[in-house]
Structure 1
Amino acid sequence: MLVPFNVSDFLYRAETVYGGRIGIVDEPDQPAPSLGELTYAELAMLARRQAARLDELGIAPGDRVAIVSQNSARLLVSFFGVAGTGRVLVPVNFRLRPDEVAYIVRHSGARMLLVDPELDDALAEVGAEFRLVLGDDDLYAAEGIDPTPWEADENATATLNYTSGTTARPKGVQITHRNIWTNALTMGLHLGVTDRDVYLHTLPMFHANGWGMPFVAAGLGVPQIVLRKIDGAEILRRIEQHRVTCLCAAPAVVAAVLEAANTWEGDIPGRDRVRIVVAGAPPPTKTIVRVEQELGWEFIQIYGLTETSPLLTVNRSRSEWDDLPPEDRAAKLVRAGAPAIGVQLNVDATGEVLARSNVVLDGYWKQPEETAEALDGGWFHTGDGGTIDGNGYLTISDRKKDVIITGGENVSSIEVEDCLFSHPAVAEVAVIAVPSEKWGETIKALVVLAPGTQATEAELIGWCKERLAGYKSPTSVEFRAALARNATGKLQKFKLRAPYWEGRERDGD
């Protein structure tokens, strides 16, 4: 028997098995009326009402519905009310400029645009055939109206997720029902999720569909706590209030929690209970040590891309590492990890990481040439450089475009950043290539100092020279008040490099 995968399967099980359980606790402090606490039965009812409203408007399976929102129950419902009924949900980064949002709405061909009330004025000029503000009762059909059944096609596009644009115009990544199913099952399995967990949405739901965790949590009856805006102290409060056991975060969020923990009164919430799943960029090893020692949380590293739904690798502490000193265990956990079940990894002759799996995208929306290039040879080309050791563990050395080639030697900016992070005065750092008449390009470190600390350029360069090969050490350090990141916590190094390369051409940029 072959039953097509459908993202609505996760909500069907939640309603059937855990219908009376609180499935979502909406953000109480938001411009739209909060939906408060919803049972999984109520969440499923809202998804059906949303689908019935789309029926009334003539928005058919295959049509695109864009949504621009911070984390909210209405966004979560739309994964099922839109994507689960054959339409294509287009979750848009709420931090983008209006012209960038307009590009995505136009490029995706979205017939409907759903907008968070807080963004309504800023996005006033961005429209679609149907435009609704979240919180408007017109989003849902009258209670009791059943939607038209959809004959599921597991290879149909469920969501169209636009890349974060770290290197160019964002591309629309076509993620199928089969992709989402495979990702959710492997994510839930590797993280050991059960119906005794409580999940906190610190990760933006728009980003790779919240890494698939809305589906994992629903399918296993896990209560989902919505957090609208990131604040380290508020994360700790929610963990304490709701007895949260699991959250996903970019390294910048981990840093915010660690900072808040410094002034937290009483025991840190979640000690020996919480596991924090981190991706986006390898955090410094000292951060991993601090998570385990200062917070008492389990640190899990994963690696993937929007194009891979996103899970490719998992790095979770193994029993063989239990007796290692914290720093040695952290050195193992800083790696991207071993391939998730169903994932095959390879590294080509240029050092680029390649992947094969059922989580790999169907293609880039309306970009056949880019699709063919990304899937050349039957492997997905990640754009990341890396190495795989004898036990199958992947270490990401750098984005291919972020590798610094100085005097003919390749230098991983990540390795240099990790070294600088180990200096007690360094709070944030980005290492980039800048032009050099002698070497072609050379290494510059952009550094944010921790409050109340001091360091000089010479001191930081000397710190690196004591710990790295000479050619890997920065030749200059520039101190900054802050480093701009995108909505998912990633440094956009091509933007940081751009002023230094103005009027010059750099390979790869």
Structure 2
Amino acid sequence: MTDTIYDMGLGQTEANYIPITPISFMARTAHVYPDRTAVVYGDVRRSWAETYDRCRRFASALVKRGYGRGDTVSIFATNIPEMYEAHFAVPMSGAVLNAINTRLDAEAVAFILNHAETKVLIVDPELSEVAAQAVKMTGRDDILVLDILDPQFEGGARIGTLSYDDVLAEGDADFMWVPPQSEWDAISLNYTSGTTGNPKGVVYHYRGAHLNALSNIVMWEMGNAPVYLWTLPMFHCNGWCFPWTIAAAAGTAVCLRAVREEPIFELMKTEKVTNFCGASVVLAMLVHAPEDLKKGLQAGIKVLTGGAPPPAIIIEKMEALGFEVTHGYGLTETYGAAVICAWHDEWDVRSTSERAELKARQGVRNLAAEGLMVADPETLAPVPWDGETMGEIFMRGNNIMKGYLKNPSATEKAFRGGWFASGDIGVMHPDGYVQLKDRSKDIIISGGENISSVEVEDVLFKHPEIMEAAVVARPHEKWGETPCAFVTLKAGATVTEAEVIAYCRQYMAHFKAPKTVIFGPLPKTSTGKVQKFMLREQARALDLQG
């Protein structure tokens, strides 16, 4: 490439080019708003100056102990202040943060610790038993285990020789952290759910984390000083990058150890919460909560929902309570929500149900993304924008992972023709908005016809006596597969299988309606997604005639 007049003598210097990092957000906010509340957790209230001080001290201590670029620091914790601080302190040291799913068993945690070559493990007392088993199962004695001392939690045991606070005390508050050598350096490592075999380690880079964190503010119209309630696990895609977003917006992180309806509603009122994120199961929990908990709730709290597609009826009921719902979509590989259902003012005049249907769509790419399409998975030819033709959802941009750790074959499979293949099936509407229809493995093929399990679930959620629903394929002797619905009823409901099937047949083509209905609780992951692989196993266990 030949230099132009704009390249000659105009090079990168320390004055005009610094690798971008989301860690700089905290440095700025601590300087501009040192006394503004950064973290709330029970009786703990820390300012941005105090939080920045703690992060620098912990980073300094890690460096003094010899940890740095390329080393993995894992944390196994709920949404408590130490988990929030780790999102800044670990990268400040140059190390890579690995936040571990709190719902995993010891065997899965041990696999992650070995696969990630973890050097330091920070442990929440609530998870100490599983962590102790996992460390033992690694067969290693070189992992530095640090216990979090949480006076607000009763129980747990010390499993390390040092505490988080002990190491914190070793550090210097004036530690001069530096930006990464490259924006392409790894900032964090997140593992997929691993429902079929070992989980894959998804590597995030600084550039993606920085841009996605800023995109959250703009796309969700968060403004300055949002009060964010941590209902979304911080271990899940680094909390969709919101630890860094909150720092950039000079907001307040309201920590929450357990996602239960009582403390959620209480904190919303007492802390004047403005924003929170959560899977559709969290929204359903709030919708069905006792009425006395909802009294006095302020209107206008913004909720960003993702994970399993939320049924339109749940969005409608949330908005009836005064919440402002925005729908996002993404994967671990896309730093969380890379697609967002951007709202149009002209939609305000639509009916309540029409607005809910529009919001149930996944939407358009966010500011950090560069491309979004629905295409044929083999040819990558885009499907017609007709809202009906299904294809695979593909994405590209700075908020796509570096790749899978130590797994070049899986990385190569994920990247095709300059695009990231999501494995999700969707349609493109005439206005350019994507709508998710299924995971590729969840599409039900009955008599040669494709049935979207999401479409059937949307109808089921509209039934007044149904609280939760999931639909999978059940093998059938004649049709190959038929829809099998797993349903959780509201307390005291007595709906029968025949009544559920008849209800569905009123609102969709008869071949799409469930042929089987099974009642009971649904198995879920820690992020609220229904574990459909378990339901598919149950459906396959039924006789083939059905």
The answer to whether the superposition gives a TM-score over 0.5 is yes
Instruction: State the one-letter code of the partner of 1:175.
Output: Y
Contact 1:173 1:363 in 2 (8 A): yes
Contact 1:433 1:443 in 2 (8 A): yes
Instruction: State the one-letter code of the partner of 1:364.
Output: Y
Deviation at 1:185, TM superposition (A): 1.2
In structure 2, the partner of 1:270 is 298
Confirm or deny that 1:86 pairs with 2:79.
Answer: no
In structure 1, the partner of 2:537 is 498
Deviation at 1:21, TM superposition (A): 0.9
Contact 1:112 1:129 in 2 (8 A): yes
Deviation at 1:182, TM superposition (A): 1.2
Confirm or deny that 1:290 pairs with 2:298.
Answer: no
Deviation at 1:300, TM superposition (A): 0.5
Q: Larger deviation: 39-48 or 129-138?
A: 129-138
Percent identity over the alignment?
37
Contact 1:363 1:371 in 2 (8 A): yes
Q: Larger deviation: 130-139 or 468-477?
A: 130-139
CA distance in 2, matches of 1:336, 1:27: 35
CA distance in 1, matches of 2:99, 2:34: 26
| SS of residue matched to 2:288 | helix
Deviation at 1:503, TM superposition (A): 12
2:505 is aligned, of 458, 465, 480, to 465
Confirm or deny that 1:221 pairs with 2:250.
Answer: yes
| SS of residue matched to 2:232 | coil
Q: Deviations over 1:147-198 (max 9, x none)?
A: 4644522110100011122444211100011010111111111111222421
In structure 1, the partner of 2:371 is 344
| SS of residue matched to 1:37 | strand
Instruction: State the one-letter code of the partner of 1:300.
Output: T
| SS of residue matched to 2:19 | coil
Deviation at 1:375, TM superposition (A): 0.9
Confirm or deny that 1:300 pairs with 2:339.
Answer: no
Contact 1:174 1:362 in 2 (8 A): yes
CA distance in 1, matches of 2:455, 2:23: 42
1:130 is aligned, of 134, 144, 167, to 144
Q: Larger deviation: 347-356 or 369-378?
A: 347-356
In structure 2, the partner of 1:244 is 273
In structure 1, the partner of 2:282 is 253
Deviation at 1:496, TM superposition (A): 1.4
Q: Deviations over 1:302-351 (max 9, x none)?
A: 11111001222111432111111100110100000122123311122141
Confirm or deny that 1:11 pairs with 2:26.
Answer: yes
Instruction: State the one-letter code of the partner of 1:282.
Output: P
Q: Write out aligned runs for 1:326-365 (5 A).
A: 326-341=352-367, 342-350=369-377, 351-365=391-405
CA distance in 1, matches of 2:179, 2:314: 48
Contact 2:342 2:364 in 1 (8 A): no
Deviation at 1:362, TM superposition (A): 0.4
Gap change, CA 1:146 and 1:483, over 3 Å in 2:
same
Instruction: State the one-letter code of the partner of 2:366.
Output: A
| SS of residue matched to 2:268 | helix
Gap change, CA 1:85 and 1:56, over 3 Å in 2:
closer
| SS of residue matched to 2:193 | coil
1:404 is aligned, of 438, 444, 468, to 444
Q: Larger deviation: 336-345 or 323-332?
A: 336-345
CA distance in 1, matches of 2:527, 2:481: 28
* Higher radius of gyration, 1 or 2: 2
In structure 2, the partner of 1:485 is 524
In structure 2, the partner of 1:45 is 53
Deviation at 1:139, TM superposition (A): 3.1
In structure 2, the partner of 1:173 is 202
1:381 is aligned, of 418, 421, 424, to 421
In structure 2, the partner of 1:31 is none
> Could you say what the CA RMSD is over the residues aligned between the two structures, in angstroms?
1.8
Q: Write out aligned runs for 1:419-498 (5 A).
A: 419-480=459-520, 482-498=521-537
CA distance in 2, matches of 1:240, 1:396: 34
Contact 2:275 2:303 in 1 (8 A): yes
CA distance in 2, matches of 1:504, 1:7: 54
Aligned pairs, number = 494
| SS of residue matched to 1:112 | strand
Q: Write out aligned runs for 1:17-28 (5 A).
A: 17-28=32-43
Q: Deviations over 1:32-75 (max 9, x none)?
A: xxxx1111111111111111111122112110011100001001
Deviation at 1:205, TM superposition (A): 0.7
| SS of residue matched to 1:194 | coil
Instruction: State the one-letter code of the partner of 1:44.
Output: Y
CA distance in 1, matches of 2:325, 2:187: 31
Deviation at 1:219, TM superposition (A): 1.2
CA distance in 2, matches of 1:436, 1:25: 53
CA distance in 2, matches of 1:304, 1:315: 12
CA distance in 2, matches of 1:105, 1:178: 25
Contact 2:56 2:177 in 1 (8 A): no
Instruction: State the one-letter code of the partner of 1:181.
Output: H
Deviation at 1:483, TM superposition (A): 0.6
Contact 1:245 1:270 in 2 (8 A): no
Deviation at 1:8, TM superposition (A): 1.3
In structure 1, the partner of 2:231 is 202
Q: Larger deviation: 389-398 or 136-145?
A: 136-145
| SS of residue matched to 2:424 | strand
CA distance in 1, matches of 2:94, 2:218: 26
Gap change, CA 1:414 and 1:265, over 3 Å in 2:
closer
Instruction: State the one-letter code of the partner of 1:92.
Output: I
In structure 1, the partner of 2:216 is 187
Contact 1:55 1:148 in 2 (8 A): no
Contact 2:18 2:179 in 1 (8 A): no
| SS of residue matched to 1:343 | strand
CA distance in 2, matches of 1:265, 1:447: 26
Deviation at 1:3, TM superposition (A): 1.6
| SS of residue matched to 1:423 | coil
| SS of residue matched to 2:400 | coil
| SS of residue matched to 1:2 | coil
Structure 1: runs of 5 or more not aligned: 29-35
CA distance in 1, matches of 2:203, 2:543: 35
